[in-house]
Amino acid sequence: MIDLPQVVKEAVSVLGKLPGVGEKSALRMVTAMTKWRLEDLQKFSKATGSLVNLNECEECGMWTDEKICSLCLDPKRADANVLCVVEQVSDLLAIEKSGQFKGRFLVLGGVLNPLLGIGPDQLRINKLLDIVGLHKTQVVVLALNPSIEGDATCAYIKHVLPNEISVERIGFGMPIGGSLEYLDPMTIGKALENRKSF
């Protein structure tokens, strides 16, 4: 293999750290970027570097320009006693896009993962307990992804929350527009388990 210039190697290496980008895609990106105008390349570099300045809402962990985000300040939500717990901001955005949830949010910042050294202290578990106390939350909806770590995190949160709070997990089943034929057995199992009177 040809020895590529150092600038190319470094760009491939950093782009390859993005999710879903391997060495081949990174090289494709570099190829495209070499054709960009100078100002576009500078804009790219500046905009990505500026993510350092991104602020998290002190209440819920959502990205914001202020101390407290617009969701937390929204009076129609502020007094809602339903709190939805998500792993990361993009999950919050996905739920918000559905328009089906009108309560408050809490961004956990990850899920418990002992192998990666992520324990309760690395997550916003304490903040969750604060908020639940402060806003007299009655229902906590766990919207964590179904995985071993997600399941364990749900169990942990249920354990640390006061008993009088109703803890629920989002429903699992067949996705709308899905096809039974292509669905994995685990999901079909969940869909059968979660059937409802019709």
Q: Is 17 in the site for its own copies (CB under 8 A)?
A: yes
Q: Is 147 in the site for its own copies (CB under 8 A)?
A: no
SS (H, E, C) 168-188: EECCCCCCCCCCHHHCCHHHH
Q: Is 90 in the site for its own copies (CB under 8 A)?
A: yes
Q: Is 170 in the site for its own copies (CB under 8 A)?
A: no
Please report the DSSP string for 114-183 in residue order.
Answer: GGGTB-GGGTTHHHHHHHHHHTT--EEEEE--SSHHHHHHHHHHHHHS-TTSEEEE---SPPTT--GGGS
Which of 77, 81, 88, 173 forms a contact with its own copies (CB under 8 A)?
Answer: 88
- CB closer to its own copies, 92 vs 128: 92
Residues between 28 and 57 that touch its own copies (CB under 8 A): 28-36, 38, 40-55
Q: Would you tell me which residues interact with its own copies (CB under 8 A)?
A: 1-8, 10-11, 13-15, 17-20, 25, 27-36, 38, 40-55, 63-65, 70-71, 88-90, 93, 96-97, 110
